[in-house]
């Protein structure tokens, strides 16, 4: 059924809503990537079976939705209409949920989330601190819809922004609205979206062709916000792109998505088919005379293809290597035509800006950064998951109030923002309001929104080494500073971590960093030194300890410490002896044990199992002496 006018879309929405009973029980199961890994599919099947057994099929709905964000607690199940929040739901819990909650209207206490701060059980999703302190403008819709159902999206007002744009707004008005909203690109650069659209719209094209591209080549280790939006709410991306295309004057769109995101590829392809069937993509959209269609292109697994010029080269079927951007892609991009590339999250913000207006949108956030930002909060943090907060929220609130702090009462050491080429921010800057400009000032960056929390057991030199080895592998190899420079920085860091650092290493790292930042061809290279520079800036003492004292304060670099057993604390229980894979520990029962250093492979098994904290890490020379 093709919709041929905005009115038809609205009447379709009404008819969808009218046949749905808002009070009818609905079991919502998060079907995002995290919950998938935790076995949500089996849980969904179990619910279907259980409802059938109780002859409730047809009376109770089951909805598999996109990512709810609280991945630490998956699989997540929310029972509507009340919004009862069950966490870590397994197949064995299904029977009880159906009999207690669905049939008897009672809450299954043991499946509720317990607030670690107050030790109180929380029954409703909206009251869970992880959610209560967020502002989920984009992510909220993830849990309200089945990503494979266009009707679900339309029911919550989906495509109304497109309808408004096509029927009531001129293209330039759309551009102005987006400029005034203050929306900035969420992919990393933070360029004002509206101005980008404006440049692309006004750029000369020899045959009038312009392209609109969605960058879904999210490659930062530990970051998955674009994935979750594309998997959970693909229509919002299509709607955003279509609005952008109308504003820019484009009729061809591409979504460049990682092939490692099979669910995102599947859901967005389904969404495109559905949108075409409804006439929301294709020729004469909603009978308004505007044509636009989208193709999905799958990336081949190269991190650098997230860079706009490399992405476009890859879309054309060439090797994904960046080129100089002195001529911008909005002027000459894909096939040398004006091309407007925005990130998934940016596109997802567009319908919101149009529906609620630039005035409303620009009230959220800070002076220079408007709206909300999704972060993927990972690492040494209690509440791992996707977090959406207004720009300007202090890091401390994100990490402690929403993230629930550091597990096992460890101390916070640093948080790395902005993906592999972001920087590490120390505790002293935890009150930093998170927006584009503040993070850049601190030597890090917003990037696409990765946030990796590290505790006291982390070695900052090793962290810098890890990110650099990632970047070395992902450098395309075209320009000398990036290809040769990162390799050499990594060599130096390797030496330092192995206790072979020498005086002048820190200075050489700094020199290399500055040359790479100033001379590399693309943003992968120019930002690559960030993890090194920020760790030197904020954790210089750790570098010096490695170089001068041949010690690793974090106890990570195995060449720089030995394990030993503290006589005073050892009870001779023998747990360490049992755990040791190389039989390096000797000692009789109830007597003090010792480690034979020559047989020890420093796996840390004894350290982990000791209940008395008798196994310790010590400076190599000290222990050997």
Partner 1 sequence: MISLTIDERNIEVEAGLTILQVARQNNINIPTLCHHEALEPYGACRLCTVEVTVRKKKRFVTACNYIISEGIDVRTVSPEVTEIRRMILELLLAKCPDVEIIKDLAKSYGIDKPRFKLENQTCILCGLCVRVCKEIIGANAISLIGRGVDARVDTPFHLSSEVCTGCGACAAVCPTGVIQLQITRDKVEIKPFNTIVKLKQCISCGKSLASETLLGEVRRKLGNLSKSALLCTDCKKERESLALANSARFFKNA
| Residue numbers at the binding site for partner 1 (CB under 8 A) | 302, 319, 321, 323-324, 326-327, 472-481, 483-485, 487-488, 491, 508, 511-512, 514-515, 518-521
Instruction: Please state the closest distance from residue 484 (CB atom) to partner 1, in A.
Output: 4
CA distance linking residue 377 with residue 386, whole number of Å: 6
Instruction: Please state the closest distance from residue 95 (CB atom) to partner 1, in A.
Output: 52
CA distance linking residue 349 with residue 369, whole number of Å: 13
**Which residue, 117 or 327, is less far from partner 1 as judged by CB?**
327
Instruction: Please state the closest distance from residue 509 (CB atom) to partner 1, in A.
Output: 11
**Which residue, 460 or 520, is less far from partner 1 as judged by CB?**
520
Contacts 24+ apart (CB under 8 A), 115-120: 116/382, 116/404
**Which residue, 100 or 331, is less far from partner 1 as judged by CB?**
331
- For Cα atoms 262, 263, 264, give the angle at the middle one, nearest 5 degrees: 90
Residue 423, judged by CB atoms within 10 A of its CB (0-12, 13-18, 19+), counts as buried
**Which residue, 18 or 518, is less far from partner 1 as judged by CB?**
518
**Which residue, 453 or 536, is less far from partner 1 as judged by CB?**
536
- Residue 173, beta-bridge partner list: none
User: What length does the chain have?
Assistant: 625
Instruction: Please state the closest distance from residue 324 (CB atom) to partner 1, in A.
Output: 5
Could you say which DSSP state residue 231 is in?
H
Residue 428, C-beta contacts closer than 8 angstroms, at least 6 positions apart: 538
Say if residues 411 and 453 touch (Cβ distance below 8 Å).
no
Residue 323, C-beta contacts closer than 8 angstroms, at least 6 positions apart: 309, 313, 521
Instruction: Please state the closest distance from residue 477 (CB atom) to partner 1, in A.
Output: 3
Instruction: Please state the closest distance from residue 301 (CB atom) to partner 1, in A.
Output: 11
Instruction: Please state the closest distance from residue 604 (CB atom) to partner 1, in A.
Output: 31
Instruction: Please state the closest distance from residue 553 (CB atom) to partner 1, in A.
Output: 27
Instruction: Please state the closest distance from residue 488 (CB atom) to partner 1, in A.
Output: 5
**Which residue, 309 or 349, is less far from partner 1 as judged by CB?**
309
Cis status of the peptide bond prior to 70, with omega within 30 of 0: no
Unique residue bearing structure tokens 């250093």: 597
**Which residue, 473 or 549, is less far from partner 1 as judged by CB?**
473
Q: How many CB atoms lie within 10 A of CB 132?
A: 13
Unique residue bearing structure tokens 């890490």: 617
**Max Cα-Cα span within the chain:** 87
**Which residue, 355 or 515, is less far from partner 1 as judged by CB?**
515
Two tokens at 322? 């960046």
**Which residue, 89 or 479, is less far from partner 1 as judged by CB?**
479
CA distance linking residue 230 with residue 252, whole number of Å: 19
- Residue 451, beta-bridge partner list: 377, 417
């Amino acid at each position: 059924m093709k919709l041929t006018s905005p009115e038809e879309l609205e009447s379709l929405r009404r008819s969808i809503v009218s046949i749905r009973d808002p009070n009818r029980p609905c079991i919502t199961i998060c079907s995002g990537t995290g919950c998938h890994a935790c076995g949500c599919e089996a849980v969904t099947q179990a619910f279907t079976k259980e409802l059938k057994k109780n002859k409730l099929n047809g009376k109770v709905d089951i909805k598999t939705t996109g990512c709810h964000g609280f991945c630490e607690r998956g699989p997540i199940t929310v029972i509507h209409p009340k919004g009862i929040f069950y966490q870590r739901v397994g197949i064995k819990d299904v029977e009880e949920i159906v009999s207690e909650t669905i049939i008897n209207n009672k809450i299954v206490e043991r499946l509720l989330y317990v607030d670690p701060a107050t030790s109180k059980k929380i029954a409703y999703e909206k009251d869970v601190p992880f959610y209560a302190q967020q502002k989920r403008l984009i992510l909220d819709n993830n849990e309200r819809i089945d990503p494979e159902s266009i009707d679900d999206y339309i029911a919550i007002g989906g495509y109304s922004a497109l309808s408004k744009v096509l029927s009531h707004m001129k293209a330039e008005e759309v551009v102005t609205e987006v400029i005034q909203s203050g929306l900035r690109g969420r992919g990393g650069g933070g360029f004002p979206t509206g101005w980008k659209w404006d440049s692309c719209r006004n750029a000369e094209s020899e045959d009038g062709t312009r392209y609109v591209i969605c960058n879904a080549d999210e490659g930062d280790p530990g970051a998955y916000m674009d994935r979750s939006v594309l998997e959970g709410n693909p229509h919002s991306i299509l709607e955003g792109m279509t609005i952008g295309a109308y504003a820019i004057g484009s009729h061809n769109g591409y979504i460049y998505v990682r092939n490692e995101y099979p669910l995102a590829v599947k859901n967005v392809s389904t969404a495109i088919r559905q949108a075409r069937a409804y006439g929301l993509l294709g020729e004469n959209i909603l009978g308004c005379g505007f044509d636009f269609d989208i193709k999905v292109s799958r990336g081949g697994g190269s991190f650098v293809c997230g860079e706009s010029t490399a992405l476009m080269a890859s879309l054309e079927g060439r090797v994904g290597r960046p080129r100089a951007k002195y001529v911008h892609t909005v002027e000459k991009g894909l096939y040398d035509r004006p091309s407007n590339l925005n990130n998934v999250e940016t596109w997802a913000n567009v319908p919101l800006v149009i529906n609620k207006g630039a005035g409303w949108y620009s009230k959220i956030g800070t002076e220079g950064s408007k709206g909300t930002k999704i972060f993927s909060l990972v690492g040494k943090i209690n509440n791992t998951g996707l977090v959406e907060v207004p720009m300007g929220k202090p890091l401390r609130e994100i990490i402690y109030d929403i993230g629930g702090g550091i597990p096992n009462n460890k101390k916070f050491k640093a948080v790395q923002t902005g993906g592999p080429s972001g920087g590490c921010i120390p505790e002293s800057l935890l009150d930093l309001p998170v927006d584009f400009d503040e993070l850049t000032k601190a030597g890090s960056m917003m990037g696409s929104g990765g946030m990796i929390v590290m505790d006291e057991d982390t070695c900052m030199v090793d962290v810098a080494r890890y990110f650099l080895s990632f970047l070395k592998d992902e450098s395309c190899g075209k320009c000398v500073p990036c290809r040769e420079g990162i390799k050499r920085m990594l060599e130096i860091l390797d030496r330092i971590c192995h206790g072979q650092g020498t005086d002048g290493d820190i200075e050489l790292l700094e020199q290399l960093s500055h040359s790479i930042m100033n001379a590399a061809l693309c943003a992968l290279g120019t930002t690559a030194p960030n993890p090194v520079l920020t760790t030197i800036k904020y954790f210089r003492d750790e570098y010096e300890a490695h170089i001068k004292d041949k010690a690793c304060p974090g106890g990570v670099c195995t060449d720089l410490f030995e394990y030993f057993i503290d006589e005073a604390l050892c009870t001779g229980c023998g747990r360490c002896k049992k755990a040791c894979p190389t039989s390096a520990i000797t000692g009789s029962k109830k007597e003090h044990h010792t480690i034979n250093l020559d047989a020890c492979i420093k796996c840390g098994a004894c350290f982990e199992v000791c209940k008395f904290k008798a196994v310790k890490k010590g400076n190599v020379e000290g222990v050997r002496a």
